[in-house]
Each structure stands twice: as structure tokens, then as C-alpha cells.
Amino acid sequence: MGIEEKLPSGFLLSTVEDMAGYFRKGSLWPATFGLACCAIEMMTTGGPRYDLGRFGMEVFRASPRQADLMIVAGRVSQKMAPILRQVYDQMPNPKWVISMGVCASSGGMFNNYAIVQGVDHVVPVDVYLPGCPPRPEMLIDAILKVHDKVRNTPLGPNRIAAEDEAEQLALTATPTIEMKGLLR
């Protein structure tokens, strides 16, 4: 976005990428967005016992425009899905998403018409966190995995190449409808 796309390729870009990734991972701010019981564990993670401040992210932003991490904590109802997408769209690029708990990741035990069967139908997910509910330690582990991703985020021409590669992979992937799972 913006000046990033005007960066030259080569050695200089690698250095800029390295520095930008390092500073970004140390200042990741989550959007305040809790949907169900998982949100209680998310709030606990921000409290003094688990202290997200150690990772530079104790500030949960009330405005999506100041946030770059969305933690989808809990089941997503069909009614909530467009609002979730709107919050995501209002977050500036680059942004990351953690799907917290089985409900957010796959609908969990709520296999019915009222609940979205996986938030990846609505927004792209970077890390899926299993559990019902996941413990704060598990959320911190997922956040650290996002930090690794942030640290290695490509910029400029490298990002365009990575996006092209991801698109090719998506186009050649097996459609979900053809996958065999426990429910089919």
C-alpha cells in the first residue's frame, strides 16, 4: 500500500522488509471484537496475569482503523457476518486474522443454519486456533505465530510475487465440496 509499492527490488528491499517486519510485529494492535464465550479468554489474555503488554499489544483498539489484528473470538452468526466483514474492511492494510476456537474456525458444535460454518467464508484467516475455549496460553502462542508471519511479510515487488503464487495455489486447490470429512 502507498510508498511500499514503490520500493526497489534486491538487497535494499530485503533490508527494508526486515526492519518493517521487526517493528510491525512489536506494535501489533488487536481490534476489540469479541463474539461469544471465547472472548472471555481473550480478555483474560489482556489482563495482568498473562500480560499481552510483553508483546507490545496490550492496547485493544476500539476503532478498526487503528487496528491491524482481528481476533475472531467465538461463533459467528449469519447476522453478524456482514458486520464482521465491515470491521475487517475498515482495518488498514496490512492486517491479520486469528480464528479463535472451534466455533469461529468451523462452526464447532453449532452445525446449523444460524451459524457461519467457519469464519474463513467471510474473511481470510492467518491462524486457526483449536479448543473450546482455547486457554490464554494458546492464544498467546497463536499471536506469536502471527508475529512470525508479520516478521516475514514481503513488501513491494516481493509482495506482488507472493500474492500471485498464493492465487495460483488457490486456483489449483481441491474445492471444499470435493473433500471427504467426518460429516460426509
Q: Of 30, 64, 101, 118, which lies in the binding site for ligand SF4, with binding defined by CB under 6 A?
A: 101
By the rule CB under 6 A, 136 interacts with ligand SF4:
no
Angle at 171 between CA 165 and CA 173, to 5 degrees: 100
**Cell 453449532 maps to which residue?**
110
Beta carbon nearer to ligand SF4, 44 or 158? 44
Strands (E), the chain: 69-73, 96-100, 127-129
H or E element at residue 134:
none
Nearer of residues 37 and 162 to ligand SF4, judged by Cβ: 37
**Using the rule CB under 6 A, is 95 a contact of ligand SF4?**
no
- Minimum gap (Å) between residue 46 Cβ and ligand SF4: 17
Q: Output the CA–CA distances (angstroms, integers) from residue 43 to 39, 46, 48, 58, 95, in the order listed.
A: 6, 5, 10, 10, 20
Total residues belonging to the chain? 184
Residue choice 30, 46, 133, 136 for contact with ligand SF4 (CB under 6 A): 133
CA–CA separation, 163 and 161 (whole Å): 5
Of 25 and 75, which has the nearer Cβ to ligand SF4? 75
Q: Which of 103, 125, 142, 155 binds ligand SF4 (CB under 6 A)?
A: 103
Residues of this chain that bind ligand SF4 (CB under 6 A):
36-38, 74-75, 101-103, 108, 132-133
